[in-house]
Amino acid sequence: MKQTVKRGRGRPSMRHLTCSVRGCNKPHRAKGLCSSHYQKHIRKQRKERQTDPSEDFGLLIDCIDMKQKMSEVECMYNERLEAIMAKKDKKSSPNKAYTNDEVRAILRAIDRVEKNPGPGVKTNPKNLKFWEEVSTILWHDSDYHRGAGALKSWYNKRQREQRESDTKPGGPLAENYTQIGHEVQDMRDDISEILTEMAGIREFRESVVASVDDIRQTLRDICDLLTAGGSK
């Protein structure tokens, strides 16, 4: 009967091996080395891992510089955030009422665009590009933000209200309209008088023509009488 050899579990034993260093026959400890050579190998690795103190100091300086730069960036970020928040407080929302300062800023922007329009921009309030240019200038100059459509609607509403207020009784245009009405009425009266005078002139002309016809007829009668008396 053939005998089977029992094998142990796990990694095979290396106790029968010796050190891999030439000339050393000490038993194996780890990584192909005996205990003494293995300790030398560990000390050598530790020595290689040790860094130069100057390199550590340079790394420390770099860390300090990085920290200073981070603090500067943080300060710049905080200042920018404060500026944005201040601008946000001044910034007008689309549904917010127009203040007097904002209205003056819009009128200045409109005047600037009308005097110096950008490329491809027509100085026509009905053109949307005109109001886009006004919106851009308003944002850069006064930190107010209104869209082109909102500005156009506001301007049309303002013009309509201005016309309505001008034509109301007591408005600046109402007096002009009243004065024009009086002048038109005076002109109508003058025309009526002229027509009346022309009618009188026409009647006088007709009476003169009738008188001339009567005189002519009388002269003809006299001529006939004289002719008849001479023949007798």
The pLDDT value given to residue 175: 63
Q: By CB neighbour count within 10 A (0-12 exposed, 13-18 middle, 19+ buried), where does 138 fall?
A: buried
Residue 209 lies in a domain: no
Residue 152 lies in a domain: yes
Residue 41 lies in a domain: no
Domain span at 76: 62-91
Average pLDDT over residues 110-136: 80
Average pLDDT over residues 45-56: 64
Do 87 and 115 have their domain in common? no
Do 97 and 162 have their domain in common? yes
The pLDDT value given to residue 51: 54
Per this entry, what is the length of the chain?
Answer: 232
Residue 115 lies in a domain: yes
User: Rounded to an integer, what distance in angstroms lies between the CA atom of residue 131 and that of residue 117?
Assistant: 11
Last residue of a domain, one of 167, 183, 214: 167
Do 124 and 155 have their domain in common? yes
Residue 13 lies in a domain: no
Do 132 and 160 have their domain in common? yes
Q: What is the pLDDT of residues 98-109, one digit of tens each?
A: 777 888 888 888
Do 156 and 114 have their domain in common? yes
Between residues 32 and 3, the one the model is more confident about: 32
Answer yes or no: is pLDDT of 113 > 60: yes
Do 69 and 105 have their domain in common? no
User: Rounded to an integer, what distance in angstroms lies between the CA atom of residue 38 and that of residue 46?
Assistant: 13
Last residue of a domain, one of 167, 194, 226: 167
Contact 20, 32 (CB under 8 A): yes
Average pLDDT over residues 103-117: 83
User: Rounded to an integer, what distance in angstroms lies between the CA atom of residue 74 and that of residue 76?
Assistant: 5
Residue 107 lies in a domain: yes
Q: What is the pLDDT of residues 145-179, one digit of tens each?
A: 787 788 888 888 888 887 777 665 555 555 666 77
Answer yes or no: is pLDDT of 5 > 60: no
Number of structural domains the chain divides into: 2
Residue 35 lies in a domain: no
Q: What is the pLDDT of residues 18-35, one digit of tens each?
A: 888 888 888 888 878 888
Last residue of a domain, one of 137, 167, 197: 167
User: Rounded to an integer, what distance in angstroms lies between the CA atom of residue 141 and that of residue 138?
Assistant: 5
At residue 232 the predicted structure's pLDDT band, cuts being 50, 70 and 90, is low
The pLDDT value given to residue 56: 59
Residue 86 lies in a domain: yes
Average confidence score pLDDT of the chain:
76
Average pLDDT over residues 182-189: 84
